[in-house]
Amino acid sequence: MKFVTKFAINSLVLGLSACLLSGTVHAQTVVPSIKAESASKSSFANANVTISDSWVRPTVAGQKATGAFMKITAKENSKLLSVSSPVAGVAEVHEMKMEKDVMKMAAIPSLDLPAGKPVELKPGSYHIMLMDLKSPIEKGAKLPLTLKFQDAKGGKFQMDLLLDANMPTASGQPSGAAQHHHH
């Protein structure tokens, strides 16, 4: 499967930015055989993975790293292999865990996504670390992020997101995001 060029991906990200303003962001696989959805839609998904509740933490002056957070749900067993963003020199999937009363954070080679089970990337747990930032991430900014996955059959695909730079509210949702409750 061939991926479109960076130019085409960037064009798609810029073209879709207006429709990705809701709190729940679903992205679409970008491959030559799939056309972008109408800009009037507010959500996108590919055949296997859905992204929701995505956000990135804004930075303060001089800060060279931040975190990105979201829920990832795969329809079939998959793995998140890597992440990248044009605003960061380094982007990695990290895990935080307690070891002998010390909180440790480290990059992981991949993140398992069990079929049908949401995997939450959140502060203090799994998250995306964006380091060597090329400029500050201001509140309200839109941050492009590419996620690369592998499905259970070994097929690789990517999703391009545009995340809101916002702090979550007490409910865990990004401020300004649409609230979604299960009863």
* pLDDT score at 168: 72
* In the chain, domain spans: 6-164
pLDDT, averaged across the chain:
74
Distances (CA, A) of 166 to 23, 50, 57, 98, 171: 10, 20, 6, 27, 13
pLDDT value at residue 146: 95
Q: What is the pLDDT of residues 67-121, one digit of tens each?
A: 999 999 999 999 999 999 999 999 999 999 888 999 999 999 999 999 999 999 9
**For 6-164, which CATH superfamily applies?**
PCu(A)C copper chaperone (2.60.40.1890)
Q: How many alpha carbons lie under 13 Å from residue 164 in its C-beta half-sphere?
A: 22
For residue 28, pLDDT beyond 90: no
pLDDT more than 70, % of the chain:
67
Q: Which of 16-25, 58-67, 111-120 has the lowest average pLDDT?
A: 16-25
Among 28-32, 109-113, 176-180, which is the least confidently predicted range?
28-32
- Strand order of the sheet with strand 111-113? 111-113, 78-84, 142-151, 156-164
